Amino acid sequence: MNKMKILKKSKAPRYIREEGITSYLLASPNTSGAVQMTTTLVEIQPGGKQRIHQHRPEQIYFIIEGSGKMTLGNESRLVEKDDCIFIPSNEPHGLENIGQTLIKYFSTAAPSFTREELSELWPLVSESDSNE
């Protein structure tokens, strides 16, 4: 039995928000059989802003490119490429792109979001499915 799962961004369920954010669901209970974590790739356009939100899973954001203002609780700081931000469980957080280029970050949440939460948070089909 083949255990290796290779997940492609173009085939990932996605969520496009009017705030200038596209979120791709990668490894998760819905996409790969992951049990303990959910991973995503998120792109925030210049001027885009992720609303302040909170959830049960702990989370990390690893900034792949770009820079922005990260808010965690009542603290806001500049984050940039190669920064890794730890977000404790139920801590309000959000990220705003205050720069001129795209912010791209990889996120891991553990424990995983439930299947129901995943269906609500990533409602759209993949880019490849929507283009066919």
The predicted model gives 83-90 an average pLDDT of 98
Query: Mean of the per-residue pLDDT values for the chain?
Result: 90
Q: Is residue 8 part of a domain?
A: no
114: CB partners within 8 A, 6+ apart: 29
| DSSP secondary structure code for residue 79 in this structure | E
pLDDT classification of 75: cutoffs 50, 70, 90: very high
The predicted model gives 105-115 an average pLDDT of 91
The predicted model gives 75-88 an average pLDDT of 98
Residue 126 reports pLDDT greater than 70: no
Q: Is residue 67 part of a domain?
A: yes
Q: Is residue 39 part of a domain?
A: yes
Residue 22 reports pLDDT greater than 70: yes
pLDDT for 124: 59
Q: Is residue 2 part of a domain?
A: no
Going from the C-alpha of 123 to that of each of 24, 54, 98, the distances in angstroms are 10, 19, 27
State the pTM of this model.
0.88
pLDDT for 3: 81
Residue percentage of the chain with pLDDT more than 70: 91
* Residue-number span of the structural domain to which 114 is assigned: 13-123
CATH number at residue 42: 2.60.120.10
Model confidence over 37-67: pLDDT tens digits?
999 999 999 999 999 999 999 999 999 999 9
Q: Please tell me the total count of domains within the chain.
A: 1
Q: Is residue 99 part of a domain?
A: yes
Residue 120 reports pLDDT greater than 90: no
Phi, psi of 114 (to 5 degrees): -70, 165
